Amino acid sequence: MPTVNRLFPDPAPLDDDGLFEAYRATREHPWLRANFVSSLDGAVESDGYSRGLSNPVDQRVFVLLRAHADAVMVGAGTLRHEGYGPARTAADLRVRRQTANLAEHPTLVIVSAALTLDPSHRAFTEAPVRPIVITHAGAAEDRREALGRVADVIACGETAVDLAVARAELTGRGLSQVLCEGGPHLFASLLAADQVDELCLTVSALLAGAGAGRIVAGTGLSEPLPMRLAHLLEADSTLLIRYTRS
């Protein structure tokens, strides 16, 4: 992995321990951070996949963020499209989670209104911790029953998923530190529900050209959400930016 340099605050090179500390979670109260990778011209994907924009330093941050999380939240479409597997902590980070009094692995939380999920998907069958599926009370009963054999299915909202209720449910289960890994429609819904506390954004030194979407899609905000720069890191022309709510 290339050398990571902290540009703000307190410029300095960071080793892997320093990079881990740079993303330490705020554990004093419930917190939701979103993590995305983008091209220089704002694309969220290359050749249809976010991993087309990724690189070794982004991939390291990806696993470090998971190491700080109680729960990893993802939309059902992203889980299928990006080929998600079980949410397992990298072996070199399990001791750090144990030292922080965290479970060995984060809980995978899948948000799905339609419940178009396959119970035999490896994200369920190989999960080290029983996943959670967030849906609404109007979701098909047969789908809820089928998924209930491999996951805890929680109805949040009557006819649409209420993400504020979902956050409260997760916090009540001790999953107060949530990492959202997308996709853009879920991120938009979290923003619309005023549930985003932090954005971790990797800006790859790539120009993707026209056609690709942004990290947010769908329902817009009624007004922009001010954010504050928490850190700015650089590695081999890739920028690693962390913003928190103002």
* Contact status, residue 239 vs residue 36, Cβ threshold 8 Å: no
Cα separations in angstroms, 18 against 61, 64, 199: 12, 11, 19
For the chain, give every domain's residue range: 29-40+49-245
- Its CATH class, for the domain covering 29-40+49-245, is alpha beta
Mind listing the pLDDT tens digit of every residue in the chain (246 residues)?
A: 889 999 999 999 999 999 999 999 887 899 999 999 999 999 998 877 788 889 999 999 999 999 999 999 999 999 998 889 999 998 889 999 998 899 999 999 999 999 999 999 999 999 999 999 999 999 999 999 999 999 999 999 999 999 999 999 999 999 999 999 989 999 999 999 999 999 999 999 999 888 778 899 987 677 899 999 999 999 999 999 999 998
Strand pairing partners for 177? 31
pTM above the 0.85 mark? Answer: yes
